[in-house]
Chains A and B, each alone.
Chain A
Amino acid sequence: MVATKKGAILAAEEGKEEAILNFLKQALKQGCFDAVLIPARVPTGDSFAYFLVQNEAFLEGASPLPPIMPVQGARVISNLTKHGKGKNRIAAIIRPCEARATIELAKLGQADLEKMLLITVDCPGVIPLSDYFGDPVKGDEVFKDASQNWDSNPMRPVCRICDKSSAIGSEDLHAGTLGTNSGGILLIPNGSKGEDILNKLGIPVETDISDWEAKVNKLTEKRKRERKQTNDALRSDIEGIDRLIEAFSACINCHNCMRVCPICYCRQCNFDSDKMKFTFEDYFTRAEARGRLMVPTDTLLFHVGRMLHMSLSCVSCGMCEDACPMAIPVGQIFTVVGDRNQEAFDYVPGKNIDEPLPLTTFEKEEFLDVEQSYAGVSSQQEDQNA
């Protein structure tokens, strides 16, 4: 983050959520955008959904930062824009990992962000769906307390080790709320889209943000260490084919992890296609080869295939894990793999919309060490032959 960056202060006497809502109402009224995409409680009160809202009145009771993530926001933005951006300029209030997945989907041609304005908020994490739906009233309280104290214990396991829970570098506006309990919240523009809105509303952008930045950096550093520890611990449980089989042994092949994943955008997954349907003889031959065949078949192949397809863009949101009926730690496993793959390509998904996807770029000098090991083997053989 550039040190000279400045932010605007929004008064937050009535709470941080209210401060954001007031800003949105004002901006909507002034025509800064035509509609707002924002989570709000469903009529029954026991869950949340994204609503597209045109009228300020409908912003009453919306929740910029709901306690749960029933649907990944990137999926919603993709649904909204993949068949064309339409005439409306829409401001989306989303969590940092939702914004990052949105950027990835845009790169994959599954979202059109030209008329979208991405507003992210410092994220304390979300409560796992199963915990919340068991007792929503209690869930609301737990989240309220935990988010005030920035306590990540009740949150999704991947939220507890999230090291990208603040501004991501590709949002248009970011609401800094970490450690700003007394003095209102910070609204930090990133690029001209965000700046224009603050200018239009006459909100001065002249507050020094270094205090907030220091707090964010401190949290990020702490989380980075925890992430590494957690990943290392889990890696020893899943590394090698036998351990991986064990880790996914409870899989019932429902593919719900794929279904709720913001990155898995294929309308029909390869693993649901005819390509993965075989003759009885085929299955039987496989059973005979080892004396038995687990049914449903090909569950691990699915997970490894999915990993290969999406791990470079995985934002570790944890939707997959929340949606798994067998409580397999899919999100944590994919975080281990995703982190390593992303590091290998020096790629941070969702950070920069102009940076191309690793698999779409070719660099001659890339992964020389991988090539050299082969070269080494063959030259060794040549030596021996000589």
Chain B
Amino acid sequence: MPKVLKISKGPDEGLKQLLRFLLENGKVEGVLTLRKMGEYGTISYSLITNPDDIDSTVPLFPLMPVNLAKQLSRLTLMEAATEPIAVVLRPCELRAFVELVKRTQGSLENILLISSTCGGVYPLEMAIAGNIEEQLPQYWKAVEQGEVIPNIRPACKACVYFVPYNSDITISLLGNKSIDKQSVLLLNTDKGVSSVEGISGQFGEDGLDSAAIEQIRNKREVEKQKLSDELETKALGIGNLTKTFSRCIDCHNCSKVCPICYCHVCFFDTKTSEHGPIYYETELEKTGYVNMLSDTIFYHLVRLFHVSTSCVGCGLCADVCPANIPLWAISLKMGDAVQKAFDYLPGKDIEEGLPFTTFAPEEFAGIE
């Protein structure tokens, strides 16, 4: 039974108390979490060193403006954190960061990982419209009940990996019936335990309610199947894929925001992917016309090929697509299939090698 710390406050306030404690007591020198800023109330991640700024944080606000894995990679790419920091991130962000660390794009050193069982996040367009605040009572009610939350990202509705892997501290949110009175912080690692030494709260031993978690997972599986069924007829198969991607405007923003797409310059943005006059003349000779956006399907297929073993289904790609292409569904479907084939769950185990970097002589004998 893992150790647990209970703080008699709702989860946001309880977590803020913890973050303040960590900073004030020198357990960490910085905290990376969501913060509300400015008069428009923009929600953005911030690296905070001043404990007084913890007041303006909203660590559990259901929005993912950027996938934090990508930002953590940026912060720790050139060197590991030189000061200890605490990071509050969602399970899929944590999984994506583990995948990036496996690709040597960041370091977990000196980072206290705080995550939660995750209800999901609202699409960016709801942040733009400014109507997330009014959804919050409904959001937390559904979290408490362990229900699938209406209006969240479709990717989140279909997410069955809502219990974080590799977190030092996990805040129990989903199905937590006393959520507005008590923050339940599971201390999963020695690092997690030692970081809270000296904080005022009630210590004990407890774990997640596995029956409740199973129930929530079943609900998400139903949702996933539903979305997947819709997709089966609409978006897959090469003919349908061509249709699905025909709206693509070739902006590559899905790759730009993807936590797994870490390449400094994408192959499709290099000179190799540009065409000279002979290409256009040849194509014109062949068919009489050239679609000047013709390489978009090629781009998407290759991107899927590159990221599918590590896709964590965060759904940011779909959120930023100017053409409303349901990219999350395609990534999820393809990611699921590929990950199952390799018996690999991205972000679960930092020691497990990436499927494409390991060779097993007996693998895929059926195909050979």
Encode A314-342 as 1/0 by CB contact (under 8 A) with B: 00000000110111000000000000000
Q: Per a CB cutoff under 8 Å, which of A54, A252, A268, A274 touches B65?
A: A252
**A50–B275 CB distance below 8 A:** no
Contact of B47 among A50, A52, A293 (CB under 8 A): A293
Residues of chain B within 8 A (CB-CB) of A50 are 291-293
Is A291 close to B, CB under 8 A?
Answer: yes
Indicate if A80 sits at the interface (CB-CB under 8 A).
yes
CB-CB contacts of B230-274 with A at 8 A, as 1s and 0s?
A: 000000000000110011011111001100000011000111001
Q: Is B359 an interface residue (CB 8 A)?
A: no
When the two chains form their complex, are residues B247 and A249 in contact, meaning their CB atoms are under 8 A apart?
A: no
Q: Which residues of the other chain, B, contact A250 by a CB distance below 8 angstroms?
A: 40, 42, 44, 65, 127-128
Taking the closest CB of chain A, its distance from the CB of B310, in whole angstroms, is: 20
Specify the chain B residue showing the minimal Cβ separation from A50: B292
Q: Tell me if B49 and A291 are in contact (CB < 8 A).
A: yes
Residues of A within 8 A of B29 (CB): 284
Q: Which residues of B contact A44 (CB under 8 A)?
A: 243, 246-247
> Could you tell me if A249 and B288 are in contact, using CB atoms closer than 8 angstroms?
no
Chain B residue with the shortest CB-CB distance to A259: B251
Partner of A256, one of B74, B278, B322: B322
Residues of A close to B364: CB separation below 8 A = none
Residue among B44, B50, B246, B322 with most chain A CB within 10 A: B322
Docked-complex contact B48 and A287, CB < 8 angstroms: yes
**Complex Cα distance A44/B324, Å?**
14
Q: Is the CB of A291 within 8 A of B53?
A: yes
Given A272-B264, A280-B78, A280-B81, 10 more A-B residue pairs with CB atoms under 8 Å apart are A50-B293, A51-B291, A79-B292, A129-B322, A246-B40, A252-B66, A267-B265, A267-B269, A280-B75, A292-B47
Question: Most chain-B CB neighbours within 10 Å: which of A279, A287, A294, A323?
Answer: A287
Task: List A222-281 residues whose CB lies under 8 Å from chain B.
Answer: 245-246, 249-250, 252-256, 259-260, 267-268, 272, 274, 277-281
Q: How many whole Å from B266's CB to the nearest CB in chain A?
A: 10
Instruction: Choose among B30, B323, B324 the residue that contacts A284 (Cβ–Cβ < 8 A).
Output: B30
Considering the chains assembled together, what is the distance between the CA atoms of A88 and B242 in angstroms? Answer: 29
Q: Is A295 an interface residue (CB 8 A)?
A: yes
User: Any chain B CB within 8 A of the CB of A179?
Assistant: no
A-B pairs with beta carbons under 8 Å apart, 9 shown = A47-B246, A55-B289, A84-B277, A87-B277, A133-B324, A249-B44, A280-B80, A280-B81, A292-B46
B46's nearest neighbour on chain A, judged by CB, is: A292
How many Å lie between the Cα of A83 and that of B80 in the bound state?
42
Interface pairs A-B: 10 shortest CB-CB: A86-B277, A291-B50, A325-B320, A83-B276, A55-B288, A50-B292, A295-B45, A52-B290, A249-B42, A49-B293
Binary CB contact string for chain B from 284 to 298 against chain A (1 if under 8 A, 0 otherwise): 100011111100000
Decide yes or no whether A345 CB sits under 8 A from chain B: no
Across the interface, do A323 and B251 meet the contact criterion of CB distance under 8 Å?
Answer: yes
Instruction: Tell whether B35 is near chain A: CB-to-CB under 8 Å.
Output: yes
Give the contacts of B25-69 with A (CB-CB under 8 A).
29-30, 32, 35, 37-40, 42, 44-50, 52-53, 65-66
B46, B288, B289, B290 pick with most chain A CB within 10 angstroms = B289
Known contacts A79-B292, A280-B81; decide if A327 and B128 are in contact (CB<8 Å): yes
Contact B47 A295, beta carbon cutoff 8 Å: yes
Question: In the bound complex, do residue A256 and residue B256 qualify as a contact, i.e. CB atoms below 8 Å apart?
Answer: yes
| In the complex, A283 has a CB within 8 A of chain B | yes
Question: A73: nearest residue on chain B (CB-CB)?
Answer: B292
Contact with B along A334-368 (1 / 0, CB 8 A): 00000000000000000000000000000000000
B83 located at the interface, meaning its Cβ lies under 8 Å from any Cβ of chain A in the complex: yes
The answer to whether A254 and B320 touch (CB under 8 A), given A87-B281, A259-B252, A293-B47, is yes
Tell me if A52 and B79 are in contact (CB < 8 A): no
Check if B128 sits within 8 Å of A326, measured CB to CB: yes
Within 8 A of B (CB), among A104-157: 129-130, 133-134
How far is it, in angstroms, between the C-alpha of A103 and the C-alpha of B63 when the chains are bound? 42
- B168 contacts partner chain A, Cβ-Cβ < 8 Å: no
A76 is an interface residue with CB less than 8 A from chain B: yes
A294 CA / B33 CA spacing, docked (Å): 10
Cβ contact of A254, chosen from B253, B269, B291, cutoff 8 A: B253
Please determine whether A246 and B322 come into contact, CB atoms closer than 8 angstroms. no
The residue in chain A whose Cβ has the minimal distance to the Cβ of B80 is: A280
Instruction: Quote the shortest CB–CB distance from B81 to chain A (angstroms).
Output: 5
Most buried by A among B247, B249, B291, B324: B249
C-beta contact mask, A25-62 vs B, less than 8 Å → 1, else 0? 00000000001010000111011011111110110000
Interface range for B = 35 or more
List A residues 190-207 near B (Cβ within 8 Å): none
Most central of A49, A71, A279 by chain B CB within 10 Å: A49
Quick check: is A306 within 8 A (CB to CB) of the other chain? Answer: no
Chain B residues near A80 (CB-CB < 8 A): 277, 280, 292
CA distance A294 to B34 in the complex (A): 9
- Complex Cα gap A309–B76 (Å): 30
* B contact residues around A58 at 8 Å (CB): 288-289
Shortest C-beta distance, A80 to chain B (Å), equals 6
Contacts of A43 in B (CB 8 A): 242-243, 246
- Assembled-state Cα–Cα distance A254/B321 (Å): 11
Partner of B265, one of A245, A260, A268, A322: A268
Q: A292 vs B55: C-alpha distance in the bound complex, in angstroms?
A: 12
A297: B residues at CB distance < 8 A: 74
Determine how close the nearest CB of chain A comes to the CB of B123; give it in whole angstroms: 10
**CA A354 to CA B39, docked complex, whole Å:** 47
Interface presence of B82 (CB below 8 A): yes
Asked if B223 is at the interface of the complex by the 8 Å CB criterion, the answer is no
CB atoms of B79 and A325 under 8 A apart: no
B59 to chain A, nearest CB (A): 14
- How far, in Å, is A74 (CB) from chain B's closest CB? 12
Rounded to whole angstroms, the CA-CA distance of A283 and B44 in the bound complex is 16
- Note all chain B residues with C-beta closer than 8 A to A47: 246-247, 249, 323
* Cβ contact within 8 Å between B81 and A46: no
Contact assessment for B75 and A88 in the assembled complex, using a CB-CB cutoff below 8 Å: no
Asked whether any CB of chain A lies closer than 8 Å to the CB of B148, the reply is: no
Nearest CB of A to B121, in Å:
13
